[in-house]
Amino acid sequence: MMRVGLGWDVHRLVAGRPFLLGGVALESERGERGHSDGDVLSHAVIDALLGAAGLGDIGEHFPPGDPAFKDADSLALLGAAFALVNRAGWRLVNLDCVVVCEEPKLLPYREKIRASLAKTLNVPPAEVSVKGKTAEGLGDVGAGAAVEALAICLLEKIEKTEKTEKKEKKEQ
Ligand code: MG
């Protein structure tokens, strides 16, 4: 069985914050404001994965007001969300993402971001795509006041072999 999931997120860009995408720090005078580290791409990917698995959303699992998640490492949160998805019997087939911001340019960081997400999600980098776009000067994103991320993923149910089923029964 296959399931598709969609995620979206937006964060304001402010001075004195790191600009993180998929756990990779980009050189920039401004970065994402957020209760966590503000990594907008990791947040969109979390929602895509949880959505595909029917496990709710990021706010439910990692509430934004919770002191436990103050300045939290969002890539670690992504790892935790993926562990839930895995435990529910799903593996990632592929992930496709779009990051919309005026600057910095994404291209110099793209392979690093793909590798970081792929490692966290236990797939080869070839199964993770990250694309950078600008908003052509339109709206808040176009004015450089915000960064937006979209993610879509495909999950596949892990088929249990007779052997693993027997082993699981034994362990119960
Ligand atoms: Mg967010």
CATH number (domain holding residue 28): 3.30.1330.50
Instruction: Transcribe 45-75 into DSSP letters.
Output: HHHHHHHHHT---HHHHS-TT-GGGTT--HH
What integer pLDDT is reported at residue 7 of this predicted model? 98
Structural domains in the chain (count): 1
Taking the centre of ligand 1 as the mean of its atom positions, its distance from the CA of residue 91, in whole angstroms, is 23
DSSP label of 27: P
What is the band of 125 on the pLDDT scale with cuts at 50, 70, 90? very high
**Residue 154 has what pLDDT?**
98
Neighbours of 64 (CB within 10 A): 11
User: Residue 93 C-alpha to ligand 1 middle, in angstroms?
Assistant: 24
Distance 82 CA to ligand 1 centre (A): 17
- Centroid of ligand 1 to alpha carbon of 152 (angstroms): 16
Confidence at 6, pLDDT banded by 50, 70, 90: very high
Task: Tell me which residues have their CB within 5 A of the ion that is ligand 1.
Answer: 9, 43
Q: With pLDDT > 90 as the criterion, what percentage of the chain qualifies?
A: 88
Its sign, for the CA torsion 37, 42, 43, 49, is negative
Q: pLDDT, tens digit, for every residue of 140-166?
A: 999 999 999 999 999 999 987 666 677
Contacts of 151 (CB under 8 A, 6+ apart): 6, 7, 8, 41, 44, 45, 47, 48, 95, 96, 97, 98
**Sign of torsion, CA 74 117 133 60?**
negative
pTM of the model: 0.93
pLDDT greater than 80 at residue 133: yes
Give the separation between CA 113 and CA 108, rounded to whole angstroms.
10
Query: So what's the pLDDT on residue 19?
Result: 98
pLDDT confidence of residue 22: 98
Instruction: Classify the C-alpha dihedral 149-100-141-144 as positive or negative.
Output: positive
Q: How many helices (H) and strands (E) does the chain have?
A: 6, 7
89 CA from centroid of ligand 1 (Å)? 26
Q: Residues 53-107: pLDDT tens digits?
A: 999 999 999 998 889 888 899 999 999 999 999 999 999 999 999 999 999 999 9
Q: What's the pLDDT score for residue 170?
A: 79
The residue segments making up the domain with residue 164 are 2-171
* Residue 161 confidence (pLDDT): 67
